[in-house]
């Protein structure tokens, strides 16, 4: 399946998540904010959209927001933990 082109990702502050809606499907990266710590709890991409790079786009957007706000990141979500491990440019964000 081909990768998705860049999609619009919205930061839903009230729900503590980054979301993207494509063809009626909702993907999201959820977090808890404790002080200046952004704790990633879950990343979800609907089966119809998996394998196309959407989770990466969500996590990149969320990490960019963390960097902009000077938040430290706690990757409790396994996807986010592996993503940061594979992309060392984000390791400075780790709490």
Write down the pTM of the prediction. Answer: 0.92
**Residue 73 pLDDT:** 98
Q: What is the mean pLDDT of each run of 10 residues along the chain (95 residues)?
A: 82 97 94 97 96 94 97 97 97 96
**Residue 33 pLDDT:** 96
**Residue 51 pLDDT:** 92
**Residue 68 pLDDT:** 97
Q: Give dist(CA 53, CA 56) in Å, integer.
A: 5
Could you give all domains of the chain from N- to C-terminal order, each with its CATH number?
A: 10-93 (3.40.630.30)
């Amino acid at each position: 399946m081909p990768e998705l082109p860049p999609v619009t990702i919205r930061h839903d502050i009230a729900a503590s998540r980054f979301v993207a809606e494509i063809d009626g499907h909702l993907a999201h990266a959820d977090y808890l904010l404790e002080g200046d710590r952004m704790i990633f709890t879950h990343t979800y991409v609907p089966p119809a959209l998996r394998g196309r790079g959407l989770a990466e786009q969500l996590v990149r957007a969320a990490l960019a927001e963390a960097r902009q706000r000077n938040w430290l990141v706690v990757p409790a979500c396994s996807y986010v933990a592996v993503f940061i491990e594979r992309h060392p440019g984000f390791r400075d964000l780790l709490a």
